[in-house]
Amino acid sequence: MTDADEHRQRQERRHADLLVHGATVLTPSGAERIDVACSAGRIVALGRLHTAWSADVTLNASGLHVLPGVIDSQVHFREPGLTHKEDLETGTRGAVLGGVTAVFEMPNTNPLTLSAGDLQSKLDAARERAWCDYAFYIGGSAANAENLSTLENLPGCAGVKVFMGSSFGDLLADDEAVLRRILRHGWRRMAVHAEDESRLRERKAIVDASGDVREHPLWRDVPSALMATKRIVRLAGETGRRLHVLHVSTAEEMAFLADHKRRVSVEVTPHHLTLSAPECYERLGSLAQMNPPVRERHHQDALWWAIRKGVVDVLGSDHAPHTLEEKGKPYPQSPSGMTGVQTLLPIMLDHVHAGRLSLQRLVDLTSSGPARIFGIEGKGRIALGYDADLTLVDLCARRTIRNDWITSRSGWTPYDGITVTGWPVHTVVRGHTVVRDEVLTDTQARGECLRFLEARPAGGAGDAPV
């Protein structure tokens, strides 16, 4: 072969920014042993590419599985106002180390996220500091109900989040008239924390008297969740609004929601699928305290039933960190919430290893499901033209989760000391390998604002029908 022939062959070879070679890739058609070529932040080729393509960066991923980038659609990164617990840089750093490539952040910060200015402040804070892609919820309240159809369509808005309980000030929406106003202004799927605030107030005396964290599920009991869920589903049906019920924790809610799936999507958390009462409270104390509570095993069994039957649409971590000092306050003065974004995937991969769900079902719950439910543009699948968000995992790797691995400012996890099988190895965000061999290797945060498909109905007005 002449020098001219070699030069011509080199010229004929296609070139990519990144080539992932040798892995098993979870595509819409199933698991395939193919390569993935990425350029300009998107997937440009799939197939046996190694001999036909060159690349600036080649990831030899032999023995690994490539998942579409994991999307965590419920995190609390505490910025602004509560950054001693977490901030956007530390939270997203933990996300990518855990294999997460995009997050939806919640509005209960200080100040609350209720206006266009509040949203823009968060977008400005995330720019060049977020390691993964991001969007922010607007809180739905009496203070902004009539503006929600405009606010929910702003760039970077993940949608509207409503707290029927467990919140304060303008973010608490427990009045039926207010809920109707919120539901009627907008078209996008509305996320809701469903606990009945009046019942929680009535029952607070139980734990005030006992000071026993093991009674957290007794205070925030099954009826407090079921009443609120039934109420918001009824109101959503009357107003024609689509709902997303967050962190469902009870068997009774799952049985009810299974009959109301036409307009309602459902989230569960790894915590509710993994921890159970009373053992977790006896072992962890207030570190196991979250809202809604971790409950008894038969409720956990019902959540797994709902996953098998397709009632559950997405997994969210409900990452809600507090410092160990805050968690150490006497119960019930101790705040509810725990870290989760960094451990979401390792914990769920361990469930895959144990045979509780398939890897393809996990992809649906953490990637394609969130993209479908929320209308995220270019995310959720490994397909030509989609964003090059890839989560590469070793299904056989055994690791012990430790507090010192957690990058959250709070510095702890309820899974400290737990050994799991299955672990994220590389994380690729829009073609940039931000985590390689379990280490943050990129020198620059690469996160960008998520894009959403058009939320308004074709030719329609901005508000739901009365």
Does the pLDDT at position 4 exceed 80? no
pLDDT tens-digit map of 224-266: 999 999 999 999 999 999 999 999 999 999 999 999 999 999 9
Confidence grade of residue 329 (pLDDT, cut at 50, 70, 90): very high
Closest CA to 43 of 20, 62, 72, 60: 20
**pLDDT at res. 430:** 97
Quote the DSSP letter at residue 285: G
HSE-CB for 3 with a 13 A CA cutoff: 0
Q: 311 is written with which tokens?
A: 């009632």
Contact 314, 369 (CB under 8 A): yes
User: Strands 133-139, 24-27: parallel, antiparallel or unpaired by DSSP?
Assistant: unpaired
d(CA 52, CA 11): 11
Pick the more confident residue, 4 or 43: 43
Confidence grade of residue 172 (pLDDT, cut at 50, 70, 90): confident
Which strand ranges, in their side-by-side order, compose the sheet holding 390-400? 30-33, 24-27, 65-68, 390-400, 419-429, 432-436, 439-440
DSSP SS3 for 16:
strand
pLDDT tens-digit map of 337-375: 999 999 999 999 999 999 999 999 999 999 999 999 999
210: CB partners within 8 A, 6+ apart: none
Residue 50, burial from CB neighbour count under 10 angstroms (0-12, 13-18, 19+) = middle
Mean predicted confidence (pLDDT) in 191-202: 96
Residue 283, burial from CB neighbour count under 10 angstroms (0-12, 13-18, 19+) = exposed
**pLDDT at res. 464:** 62
String of DSSP letters for 318-364: -B----HHHHTSPTTTSPP-B--TTTHHHHHHHHHHTTSS-HHHHHI
Quote the DSSP letter at residue 417: T
Confidence grade of residue 171 (pLDDT, cut at 50, 70, 90): confident
Task: List the catalytic residues.
Answer: 318
Pick the more confident residue, 9 or 211: 211
d(CA 126, CA 87): 9
d(CA 466, CA 239): 6
Confidence grade of residue 1 (pLDDT, cut at 50, 70, 90): very low
Does the pLDDT at position 168 exceed 80? no
Q: Give the pTM.
A: 0.95
Write down the architecture of domain 69-374 according to CATH.
Alpha-Beta Barrel (3.20)
**pLDDT at res. 449:** 97
Closest CA to 250 of 176, 318, 311, 160: 311
Element (H, E) at 66: strand 65-68
Boundaries of every domain in the chain: 69-374
**pLDDT at res. 462:** 55
Does the pLDDT at position 319 exceed 80? yes
